[in-house]
Structure 1
Amino acid sequence: MQIKSFYNRVILSSLVMTTIFLVSCKKFLNQMPITSYGTNVVFSDVPHAYQALAGVYAQLSGDQGYGIRLSLYYTVDNDETQGPTGNPDNDRRDIARYQATPGNAQLNSPFQQLFRGIEFANICIYNIPNMSQYNNGTDQEKKELQRMLGEALTLRAQFYFEAIRNWGDLPADFQPASQVAGANPFPVRVNRDSLYDRILADLKTAEDLVPWRNDLASIGDPIDERITKGTVKGLRARIALFRGGYSLRNTSGVMERSADYLTYYQMAHDECNDIITSGQHNLNPSFKNLFKNYVCARAVSDPDGELMFQVSAVGANGTADSKLGYYDGPTVNGNGNKAINILPTYFYLFDSTDLRRDVTCAPYIVNADGITKTGQTITAINDGKYRRDWISNPVISPNDKTQYLGLKWQILRYSDVLLMFAETENELNGPTAAAYNAINMVRRRGYGKPINTPNAAVDLPAGLSKSDFFNAIVKERSLELGGEGVRKFDLIRWNLINTVLTNTKNALAAMSNSSGIYANLPKSMYYYKTATGDDYTIWANSLYKPAPSATPANTTKITWVSSAISTTALARFATGFTPNKSELLPIPQPARDANYNLTQNPGY
């Protein structure tokens, strides 16, 4: 059962799995079609059950999943990144600007794919425990099937979580359609709290079924992209924070959190603490190496276990692969969309010595030779964690026109676990030494310092109040997780999104006028004509001081901080955001047409 990248496409009729494809590959897509089977055959032995599970994993991938829409269309605009330029389009631009309508062309297919993933998971969850091998097989068979059941429960939780944070209340769908369709063909939406409570309970069950990363060898499985216990616990912590956070309520039409929210902060705290004390996961010592040498090298795992939940991407197609590094990131020889831009104010949120800036932000495009760089103005900086020019294993030619690059979307990293622990510890007990240690480990790595050694130059100052420590967490999560699809939803669960978007617009206006804290930034930057670096070394002058009056030798001048910020970045940034509406997307109209019991979200 060893796999390096896997993909399985499953097509279901109302009663049976009719077609299953399992892809097991290293670099290329190899399809192994299996003829039409009913569930009694598919779940007759461990290998076939595994193929069905791989079909559940598959619903994470592709254009309608984390290959582009869930990862890049739905996660901007926030105070880090903004979506594509251009006029309103009833499409991706309108989603980024909080102007989506129920008929937006990019809503229904991702909505349907998430519920298809839930249905495929339901089929596995229903059938795997009923297999004879589950209770009566060999020890190996029982361990494998227990792991698969835990994975299916976890995947269902992830699909539901993604759907809830985008659309709010949804139908409860926890059995295969074949078991309930006749009795309840048009299910109503239920309160998201009950859905969260159900998937949190499911994840607690899954924890006891799925092994730790370092225990996989004992059941004969490799370390790869499959879910392990740390992933289950980390996802449960994340979902608990959303259960305890604010959300836009269908009943009241305003942002609210439950009175017992601290119960869920405690749950998240305990899960993060379990992961930290397990020793199963660690930070990669180098933030840049993590993304350049593992994420962009399309690695199936990293030795530190920091990449806790990756979405497989293979096959160079819209069903199984991703457009990460093509839709976003710098172009190479004109190939790519450059559709996600770093906000100028976010670029300058980073301290000048924070090494994460030049990983998260890529202020260049790559020329036709695939090596030299052309510097870009501050309003055209791209997000940089998924870069075509960093891709290896193998390297992609500058002349290659493919849009599918095999990069894996990162759903959960260990640094997020540390920051969630710091947040919950502060909320429950104040800024304790344990909270400081967790956030400072992340900060030290960000500045290139030894992770476990206190460093007064980069550690947070002692003696912060609870509120000041929370504000530090808000900032640190942005610096660490920028461009990873986390920020917008963090701001919503904290009930800060309206305030932060407003403050960001004001900051962009101030920067365009070179006023306040932005008064001494350079109005021009000069990049070396022969620059080959992928960081600040492409520039001949400082990013933090006024530009020199004379052009440095062998450089080209570009406009940097100017009034153009108002007419470019600011002019299209979150223009349609409306409090107590835009925190949720509209329910897609085709879904409502198919089920008349699906009510619409507030304001749409």
Structure 2
Amino acid sequence: MKTIFSKFTLLASTLALCLLAVTSCREYLEVQPKSQISLDDAFSNLPNATNAVLGVYDELMGDNGYGIRINMYYPYDSDEIIVSGNLDNGRRGIGRYQLLLTNTEIRNPFLQLYRGVEKANLCIEQLPKMALYTNGTDAEKKELRRLHGEALTLRAQFYFELMRNWGDVPAPMQPSYTQANLFIPQSNRDDTYAKLIDDLKTATDLVPWRSEVAVRNERITKGAVKALRAKMALFRGGYALRSSGQMERNADYLTYYKIARDECADLMAKRGEHTLNPSYEDIWRKVTSFQYDPAGEIIFEAGAGGANSTSDSRMGNYNGPVVNASSRYGTGGGGLVVLPNYFYAFDSTDVRRDVTVTLYSVAATNIKAPRRLGELTDGKFRKDWRVPLLPGTALNPGYNWPFIRFADVLLMFAEAENELTGPTPAAIAAFEEVRKRAFPKGSAAVGTTPATKAAFFDALVNERYLEFGSEGIRKFDLIRWNLLAQKIAETRQKLIQLRDATGPYANVPRYLFWKNNGEEIQWGNSFYKPTALTTAPTGFTRLDWRQHLTTNIIDGLQLDAAIARFFVAGKSELFPFDQATVDAYQGKIKQNPGY
């Protein structure tokens, strides 16, 4: 929950006409600025400069940021999760890859990301010009350099999101008031990545470690900069859809894998700053209860708060288990559906399964009822875990959005090390540290780590699949590996096999039998063994399980709700630029392939 950010409008009224380089001037003539603070005043002293940078943070959150759209619409459909419901020109159009140029769910987050860029550009320009930056007290200089590093990192985050969704985008690195023409051409994303990766190297030396400050998760610290730099380097070194309509990787990709490996290695050597939480479930219990994690596994998260559409989040209300409004938890859930094959991707003893996947809904009486196999929901941000409770129909539970965890650092290190050298002992140890947490100590289900480069990579692809479900990571991983089309096709085939109880799903039961034990569900048979029973034993109720897939909408590939129905390789890896943006640029912006 956001504890440090108050809404603060950075720009003076004289700058309100040019907040974004992607919006018509007429739109900004109609905007009433929330503050009349001049640019000079905004950077006249440390408190004002701090407020200016907090204003940059504000553009992370809200309905058009990482409060719902960017983190819960944009990463789906994938081979883990799909959006629920039938096709529309909104979130389901995004999920099904029918990306129309009039879809406002594409336009509005695009604009907010550029609003963040503009605010960051102003801070990056103005902070070093402040007299206190060079002539203040040691404490003032230290804090202003921290603010400068935060602004550099936030700008990198905004551009990272723009590039992984739209590819080559206009990339102004100065405030709009300094630009003669706001509608500048697109920049080659490779050049933009290189510039931002260099910026993050600078920022690393400006911001403190987590242990050196009081607010440790909602403001950027050295660990967050290093982790973001590693992630952006892997994307710069990965595959991307180019204007040719082909997925390509640059010849210099190993240079960026080395950057990623080195940054992760630096973080792994500072276990007093960030390490794994021993309990996978506890990570998410703390997120939903607004508790500080001493392990610091979540390295950086966007702060949410204010119970409104501009500064809060809707995790738990939009997604998670379906919760009745009359229950003690308030209404919510059901916006994201976990694919049946994803549930069965987990070993039965993997503790991540029942954290990542929710098998129940909550009735008005607070009693849980089971969901059928095609109706499972995600579980990391579930509303019925919220402490304190938030009864009623509140849209905004106040959950922060975690950008990166230490588990990601370990697996990025293993991936980069493998690409550079093969599965070295260090790479294997990092991989196994994540995997072993998922199983009871000494479990044979951990298995043997592959010893060849190709097999180790395949194991990493699968481990990231299991570790990061519903965290907005999977689709973009698959794109940078050039595996998205393949995994969507494999998922469709797996759903058919699961429906028909063939291949690896031969033992999935047609029915499950259940009853309530208090408010909880007690299962009467195994998820992993067939049963000849078709009638519920005394005291139990029958639930369609595999049987549900014979008529479930995700089974029919021609139906509007089918997974990634309109996905086209060489097109769908990127979003289109919305029509209003194309019109505003008057031919200066090239539409992405296939649109």
What TM-score do the two structures reach when normalised by structure 1? Answer: 0.91
Aligned to 2:129: 130
Conserved in 2, the CA contact under 8 Å of 1:230 and 1:308?
yes
- With over 3 angstroms needed to count, the CA separation of the structure-2 counterparts of 1:84 and 1:125, relative to structure 1, is same
Aligned to 1:259: 251
Aligned to 1:302: 293
Aligned to 1:594: 584
SS in 1 for 2:404: strand
Conserved in 2, the CA contact under 8 Å of 1:330 and 1:384?
yes
Give the aligned residue type for 1:559.
D
Query: Which of 395, 405, 421 is 2:389 aligned to?
Result: 395
Give the aligned residue type for 2:126.
N
Give the aligned residue type for 2:564.
A
Quick one: distance in 2 between partners of 1:599 and 1:245? Answer: 22
Query: Which of 525, 528, 535 is 1:541 aligned to?
Result: 525
- With over 3 angstroms needed to count, the CA separation of the structure-2 counterparts of 1:146 and 1:502, relative to structure 1, is same
Query: Which of 520, 526, 541 is 1:556 aligned to?
Result: 541
Quick one: distance in 2 between partners of 1:261 and 1:230? Answer: 23
Give the aligned residue type for 2:174.
Q
Give the aligned residue type for 2:390.
I
Number of positions where the alignment pairs a residue of Structure 1 with one of Structure 2? 566
Aligned to 2:404: 412
Quick one: distance in 1 between partners of 2:71 and 2:8? Answer: 20
Aligned to 2:474: 487
Give the aligned residue type for 2:583.
D
Conserved in 1, the CA contact under 8 Å of 2:10 and 2:37?
no
- With over 3 angstroms needed to count, the CA separation of the structure-2 counterparts of 1:176 and 1:473, relative to structure 1, is same
Quick one: distance in 2 between partners of 1:504 and 1:175? Answer: 44
Quick one: distance in 2 between partners of 1:125 and 1:431? Answer: 40
Q: Mapping of 1:443-522 within 5 angstroms?
A: 443-449=435-441, 455=442, 457-462=444-449, 464-522=451-509
Quick one: distance in 2 between partners of 1:381 and 1:343? Answer: 7
SS in 1 for 2:60: coil
Quick one: distance in 1 between partners of 2:416 and 2:205? Answer: 23
- With over 3 angstroms needed to count, the CA separation of the structure-2 counterparts of 1:34 and 1:67, relative to structure 1, is closer
Deviates more, 1:359-368 or 1:455-464: 455-464
- TM-superposed CA distance for 1:89, in Å, is 1.4
Corresponding position: 1:91 with 2:90:
yes
Quick one: distance in 2 between partners of 1:186 and 1:272? Answer: 37
Conserved in 1, the CA contact under 8 Å of 2:10 and 2:35?
no
Corresponding position: 1:281 with 2:265:
no
What TM-score do the two structures reach when normalised by structure 2? Answer: 0.92
Give the aligned residue type for 2:79.
D
> What do the CA deviations read for 1:12-66 (whole angstroms, capped 9, x no partner)?
3574479xxxxxxxxxxxxxx9851101111111111111111100100000001
Query: Which of 234, 245, 263 is 2:238 aligned to?
Result: 245
Corresponding position: 1:6 with 2:10:
no
- TM-superposed CA distance for 1:298, in Å, is 2.4
Conserved in 2, the CA contact under 8 Å of 1:7 and 1:312?
no
Give the aligned residue type for 1:341.
V
- With over 3 angstroms needed to count, the CA separation of the structure-2 counterparts of 1:7 and 1:96, relative to structure 1, is farther
- TM-superposed CA distance for 1:5, in Å, is 4.0
Q: Mapping of 1:361-400 within 5 angstroms?
A: 361-370=357-366, 372-392=367-387, 394-397=388-391, 400=392
Q: Mapping of 1:159-238 within 5 angstroms?
A: 159-180=158-179, 183-216=180-213, 221-238=214-231
> What do the CA deviations read for 1:396-447 (whole angstroms, capped 9, x no partner)?
22xx111111011111011000000011111111111111110111111111
Aligned to 1:328: 319
Quick one: distance in 1 between partners of 2:313 and 2:450? Answer: 45
Quick one: distance in 2 between partners of 1:492 and 1:165? Answer: 9
Query: Which of 546, 549, 554 is 1:569 aligned to?
Result: 554
- With over 3 angstroms needed to count, the CA separation of the structure-2 counterparts of 1:249 and 1:463, relative to structure 1, is closer
Aligned to 1:142: 141
- TM-superposed CA distance for 1:270, in Å, is 0.3
Quick one: distance in 2 between partners of 1:459 and 1:542? Answer: 21
Aligned-CA RMSD value: 1.8
Conserved in 2, the CA contact under 8 Å of 1:7 and 1:57?
no
Point out where structure 2 has 5 or more consecutive residues left out of the alignment. Answer: 18-32, 326-330, 557-561
Conserved in 1, the CA contact under 8 Å of 2:61 and 2:304?
yes
State the percentage of identical aligned residues.
47
Aligned to 2:30: none
Aligned to 1:359: 355
Quick one: distance in 1 between partners of 2:447 and 2:192? Answer: 37
Conserved in 2, the CA contact under 8 Å of 1:16 and 1:37?
no
Query: Which of 346, 349, 373 is 1:350 aligned to?
Result: 346
Conserved in 2, the CA contact under 8 Å of 1:169 and 1:190?
yes
- TM-superposed CA distance for 1:541, in Å, is 1.5
- With over 3 angstroms needed to count, the CA separation of the structure-2 counterparts of 1:156 and 1:35, relative to structure 1, is closer
Quick one: distance in 1 between partners of 2:275 and 2:129? Answer: 37
Point out where structure 1 has 5 or more consecutive residues left out of the alignment. Answer: 19-32, 450-454
Aligned to 2:29: none
> What do the CA deviations read for 1:71-92 (whole angstroms, capped 9, x no partner)?
1111111110001212x21111
- TM-superposed CA distance for 1:462, in Å, is 4.8
- TM-superposed CA distance for 1:496, in Å, is 0.4
Conserved in 2, the CA contact under 8 Å of 1:15 and 1:178?
no
SS in 2 for 1:107: helix
- TM-superposed CA distance for 1:11, in Å, is 5.9
- TM-superposed CA distance for 1:6, in Å, is 2.1
Give the aligned residue type for 1:384.
G
Conserved in 1, the CA contact under 8 Å of 2:9 and 2:35?
no
Conserved in 2, the CA contact under 8 Å of 1:373 and 1:530?
no
- With over 3 angstroms needed to count, the CA separation of the structure-2 counterparts of 1:35 and 1:482, relative to structure 1, is closer
- With over 3 angstroms needed to count, the CA separation of the structure-2 counterparts of 1:517 and 1:598, relative to structure 1, is same
Conserved in 2, the CA contact under 8 Å of 1:354 and 1:446?
yes
- TM-superposed CA distance for 1:10, in Å, is 1.9
